[in-house]
Structure 1
Amino acid sequence: MVVVWSHKAKLELKKVFDYIALDSLKYAAMVRDEIIDLTIALGQHPEKYALDKYKINNDGSWRAFEKYHYRISYKITSNQIRIVRLRHTSQSPLNY
């Protein structure tokens, strides 16, 4: 299954990279690359992570995981896994 990042999620990942790079370019690249690698692996195991507890009336297709204090939310469809949002866990979650 193919993994696709929403435009908003891509922008959020770039902001994360830019922010961390202010202190350490090496650590910024490590965080970015590991998040990307984890999302790529979803293509083989889309249901690896728990249901997204912030999704109202979740039909089982909305899931999320955390890495380095960042929460990555994604939706599983019949032909793709869509990375919808990336946010720092200190930010308030969206109810959607």
Structure 2
Amino acid sequence: MVVVWSNSAKAELKKAYEYIALDSLQNAQMVRDTLIDLTIELLEHPEKYPSDKFKKDNDGTWRAFEKYHYRVSYRILQNQIRIVRLRHTSKSPLNY
């Protein structure tokens, strides 16, 4: 099993890093690295976090967690964990 980030999730992580780096490069690196590490940890415990409450008709494979005011939504597939989106919790969630 592998962790795969969608292009939009990667772009959002980059934007978050660049925004935080305007004030503190050290904090930007910490937030980025922690979020990446948490997604890698999903390989051992993919169902660690609760079902994504914003996913309509969730079959239990769509899950999400929050760290440092960022929400990471992911989907557990047969041979990968797909990081679907990343957003700051101050932004309105998308129902999908």
- Normalised to the residue count of structure 2, the TM-score between the two structures is 0.99
| Percentage of pairs with the same residue | 74
Distance 2:57 2:81 in 1: 19
Letter in 2 for 1:85: R
3-state DSSP class of the match of 1:83? Answer: strand
Unmatched 5+ residue regions in structure 2?
none
Distance 2:77 2:31 in 1: 26
Alignment of 1:28-47 (within 5 A): 28-47=28-47
What is the total number of aligned residue pairs between the two structures?
Answer: 96
Q: CA RMSD in A?
A: 0.4
Partner of 1:4 in structure 2? 4
Letter in 1 for 2:54: Y
- Normalised to the residue count of structure 1, the TM-score between the two structures is 0.99
Distance 1:17 1:80 in 2: 25
3-state DSSP class of the match of 2:58? Answer: coil
Unmatched 5+ residue regions in structure 1?
none
